[in-house]
Amino acid sequence: MGFREECLPRSRPSPAKLLVKAPSVEREVEEIARRILEQAAAGRPFREMGIIVRAQETYVPILRSTLERFGIPARFYFDSKLEEHAAVRFLSGAVDAMLGGWDHAQTLGVLRLAPRFADSNSMDRFEFAVRQQIPNSGLGALKAILGEGAERLKRFIDNLGAIEEWRSFTLAPKDWAARLRTLRNLAGQSGLPAGSHEMALQWRSQAAALDLFDEALQEAAEALTARPLAPGSRERSGPNPQPTRALASPTPNPGERSEPHPRPLAPGTRPPAPTIQLPDFWRAVKSVLRLEPLRLEDRRRNVVHVLSAPEARQWVLPVVFVCGMVEKQFPQFHRQDPFFPDAARCRLNAVGIRVRTAAEFERDERALFDSAITRATLLVTLSYPEFDSRGDRNLPSLYLEDLVLPQQEFRAVRPQSRHAPSLPGRIEIGAPVLLDFLRQKTARLSPSALENYLQCPFQYFGSRVLRLQTAPPRPEDRLDFPTQGNIVHEVLAVWWTSRQDLEPLFEQIFERFLEEKQIPPGYHTERLRNAMIEDLQAFAAADRWPRGGFQSRMEEKFVFPLDASLQISGKIDRLDVAPDGSAFVIDYKYSRAQGTKERLTNENLVQAPLYLMAAEKVFGVKPAGMFYVGLKGGMVYAGWKAGHVEGIPDGDPFPQDWLERAGERTLQVVERIRAGHIEVAPADVDKCRFCDSRDVCRVETRQATVVAGGTDDRLSSSVSGLHPTEGA
C-alpha cells in the first residue's frame, strides 16, 4: 500500500518489577495503599503514581473506599451511570411515583433522596409513620400523616403534587421536555459544610447530572419528533419555516363510508409532531438515561490516577500498580459465540468481511498487559489475591509465567486513627439527676427486662431506658417471630379452657392479626400460617398433660414486692393448680426443642424462679414445678419439678435455695442498673445479631480496641498514616 514499517529503539529504560500476593482482594488493595503512602513519605507526589485496573467492576468500588479510608487523594478515570446518580434517581423517582399513583413506599424512597430532607428528625418520624400504614397510596394520605413541626416537608410534598395534573395532559414531545425541565427546581443543594472538598465534588456532580438530565429530555423529544419528509421533497430551513397544515379529505359520495385522509404534504415539509401522553414520553426518556454515561470533572492535580487498562496506554508515570493479576480478570476470557463460531468468522475474514475472532480478542488482552507493565519509568508493582470471596484459591494470570519477578511479602495494615487510641474505661451514668431517674424507672421491673440487662447492659439501656423505637417492619416482614408467638399464645389461651375446635379458632385469631397489623397475603404468609397450625395441631395431638386433675388459669398477671424498693411484674401463660394447693407454672415458647432445652442451663435467665415466687406470693399456691413448652417443629417439655406426680413429664429437681438465690441476684442486677452501669458487655455474642442496638454499640470494634490496649508499643510505624494490625 506504499507504507514502510520502521522499528525505533526504546527511548526509556525498563522499570523494575515486583509481584505481591495478598490473601484477598481487600487486603490486596490495602497493600497498594500502604505502598503509595510509603512512596509519598519518601517525597514522591501522588500525581506521579497510578493504579491500572482491568476488572473495574471488582476493583473500582474497593479502591474508592480503601483510598478514602487511608486518606489518599485519587482520581478515577471511569464513567458512572447517569441513572444511578442521586439527583437523577430523585427526579426519575418523582415521575415514576406520580405515574404510579403516589404509592407510599415508592414516594417515601423519593423523599429520602431529597437533598434538603435526607437527614432530618421530621423525616425520620415521618418515615416511621408511613411504614406503619403501607401499603397505601395518594399524596393526601401522606400529608395527613404529617404532624406539627413539619411545615417544610409539607410544602415540599405540595410542590411534588404540582405535577399531578401532568397525567391528564397530551402534549408534543418538545413541550413535555420543557415541562420536565422544571423538575430540577425540586433538587436543592446538599447540606455539607461550606468550603469542604466533598461539598465541591458533590455540587459539581449534581450540576453535571442535572444538565445531562436536561439533555436526555431534549434527545428523547427529538427522537419522538423526527419524521420522514414528504416524498420527493427536501427539508425547509431558515429562521421562519412555513407551518404545516393538514388538508381535509374529499367529501365522500352519499352512502359511501370512507376513512378521512390528509392530502399530500407540500414539498420540503415534515408532518406535524405527534401529541403523546406522559407515560409514552417518559419511556423514551428512561431509555436515554439508561444509556447515558456520567463523566465528572476533577480538577485536582496532586492525586493518584486510577486508570483502566485501555486508558493507561496513553499514560507514562514513574510508579504504577497493576492489580487483579488472576485468570479471567487479566486477561479477561473471551468465549467463542456458539451461534457464530470462529470457524465461520475466519471464512468471512477470508472473503474480505472483517469480523473479530476470539484469538484477536486474546491478542488485544496481551497488548493491554504489555502496555500496562511498560507505563512506569521506575517501578511497576503487580498484585493479585490468593483467594476469592468464597475462599477458593485463585489461579494467577498466565501472563505472570513469562516474567521472573521477585515476590514481596504482604503486610497487614489499617488506617491510623484520627484520635489517639485510649483504653475504654468504665461506661456508666454519673449525673445525680439521671441516677434519680433510673431509680424511678426501676421501681417495677419484669423478668424479661432483667434478662435483657443480663444479656447486655447497653441493650437494656437502649430498649428499656431510652425506649428507642426501631423502624416499623415492611409489610412482607410484619409476620415476624414476636407476632407468630403472640398468635400461638392467644390461640392456646382460648383453646386450653374452651376446648373448641383448634383450626377455626386459629383462623379467626390469625385473620384478626393480619387485619390489625396490615400483613399482606402471599406465599410467605401462607407458609408461616401452615407451619403454625401444624405445630398447634401436633401439640394438641401429642400433649398428655392430665387436665382433669388441675384447675387451669390462663394469662394471669402478677405484681409482688421483692423488697421495699422493687416490685416484680409479669404474666404467667398458664397456672395449673391441684386440689391440694400445689401448682405448676407453664410458659409457652414458640421455639424449637434445642432452644427450649438450652433455657435450663442459661444462668442469665431468671424468669423461672421469679414466676415460681409469684405463684406462691400472689396466688397463694405451693410451687410444684415450672415447665417451658417448646412448640415449633414438635412439642417438648423442659423444666423443673419437685417429686413425682402421675402424668407429669419428667423434669430436673429444683436447685438448692433456688428462689432465695434468684432474689438476691435480682437485687444485685437492680443495684447495677441504678448505679448507671451501661457498658457494652454481651453475655452471648451470638445473640448480638438480633439486637436492635448492634449498629450503635459496635461490639466487634470495641473488642478489638480492648485487645489492642496492651500493645501500644506495636501501634507505631515508620510510614505516616499506617500502623500494623498485629495484636489488634
Per residue in 240-273, pLDDT (tens digit) is: 444 333 333 334 444 444 444 555 655 655 566 6
Contact 272, 244 (CB under 8 A): yes
Residue 574: per-residue pLDDT: 94
Instruction: Identify residue 93 by its one-letter amino acid code.
Output: G
Q: Which residues contact 201 (CB under 8 A, 6 or more apart)?
A: 296, 298
Domain 16-78+308-411 has CATH 3.40.50.1010: no
Residue 311: per-residue pLDDT: 93
Distance from chain centroid for Cα 316: 40
**Total Cβ atoms within 10 A of residue 13:** 8
Residue 255: per-residue pLDDT: 45
> Where does the pLDDT of residue 379 fall: very low under 50, low under 70, confident under 90, or very high at 90 and above?
very high
Cell 399464645: give the residue.
489
Residue 725: per-residue pLDDT: 42
Examine the pLDDT at 581 and tell me if it is beyond 80. Answer: yes
Q: How many residues does the chain have?
A: 728
Buried b (16+ CB within 10 A) or exposed e, 190-216: beeeeeeeeeeebeebbebbbebbeeb
Of 45-54, 232-241, 267-276, 650-659, the range with the highest mean pLDDT is 45-54
- Enumerate long-range contacts of 501-509, CB under 8 Å, 24 or more apart: 502/533, 502/536, 502/537, 502/540, 503/533, 503/537, 506/532, 506/533, 506/536
Examine the pLDDT at 716 and tell me if it is beyond 70. Answer: no
DSSP category for residue 163:
T
Residue 275: per-residue pLDDT: 87
Q: What is the mean pLDDT of residues 682-698?
A: 83
> Where does the pLDDT of residue 102 fall: very low under 50, low under 70, confident under 90, or very high at 90 and above?
very high
Residue 484: per-residue pLDDT: 95
Tell me the percentage of the chain whose pLDDT exceeds 70: 85
Strand pairing of 16-22 and 407-408? parallel
- At residue 508's C-alpha, the angle toward residues 502 and 513, to 5°, is 120
Show the cell assigned to 536.
398447634
Residue 242: per-residue pLDDT: 41
> Where does the pLDDT of residue 414 fall: very low under 50, low under 70, confident under 90, or very high at 90 and above?
confident
Q: What is the mean pLDDT of residues 262-290?
A: 78
Give the span between the Cα atoms of 458 and 6, in whole angstroms. 75
Give 338 or 120, the one with higher predicted confidence.
338
Give the span between the Cα atoms of 612 and 627, in whole angstroms. 11
Give the span between the Cα atoms of 654 and 582, in whole angstroms. 15
DSSP category for residue 639:
E
Topology of the domain covering 424-471+549-696? Lambda Exonuclease; Chain A (3.90.320)
Per residue in 429-445, pLDDT (tens digit) is: 889 999 999 999 999 99
Examine the pLDDT at 493 and tell me if it is beyond 90. Answer: yes
Instruction: Identify residue 344 by its one-letter amino acid code.
Output: A
Mapped onto helix, strand or coil, the DSSP state of residue 203 is: helix
Residue 150: per-residue pLDDT: 75
Q: Which residues contact 296 (CB under 8 A, 6 or more apart)?
A: 80, 201, 204, 205, 208
Q: Which residues contact 211 (CB under 8 A, 6 or more apart)?
A: none
Residue 258: per-residue pLDDT: 44
Mapped onto helix, strand or coil, the DSSP state of residue 316 is: coil
Residue 265: per-residue pLDDT: 55
Residue 272: per-residue pLDDT: 65
Per residue in 518-575, pLDDT (tens digit) is: 899 999 999 999 999 999 999 999 888 988 888 999 999 999 999 999 999 999 999 9
Examine the pLDDT at 457 and tell me if it is beyond 50. Answer: yes
Instruction: Identify residue 364 by its one-letter amino acid code.
Output: D
Mean pLDDT, the chain, integer: 84
Tell me the percentage of the chain whose pLDDT exceeds 90: 49
Please tell me whether the overall predicted TM-score, pTM, comes out greater than 0.85 for this model.
no
> Where does the pLDDT of residue 188 fall: very low under 50, low under 70, confident under 90, or very high at 90 and above?
low
Q: Which residues contact 551 (CB under 8 A, 6 or more apart)?
A: 576, 577
> Where does the pLDDT of residue 352 fall: very low under 50, low under 70, confident under 90, or very high at 90 and above?
confident
Strand pairing of 49-53 and 317-322? parallel
Give the span between the Cα atoms of 178 and 221, in whole angstroms. 10
Q: What is the mean pLDDT of residues 264-287?
A: 78
Spell out the domain ranges in the chain. Answer: 16-78+308-411, 83-223, 424-471+549-696, 479-542
Contact 344, 116 (CB under 8 A): no
Give 410 or 564, the one with higher predicted confidence.
564
Mapped onto helix, strand or coil, the DSSP state of residue 293 is: strand
User: Which of 49-53, 446-450, 707-711 is predicted least confidently?
Assistant: 707-711
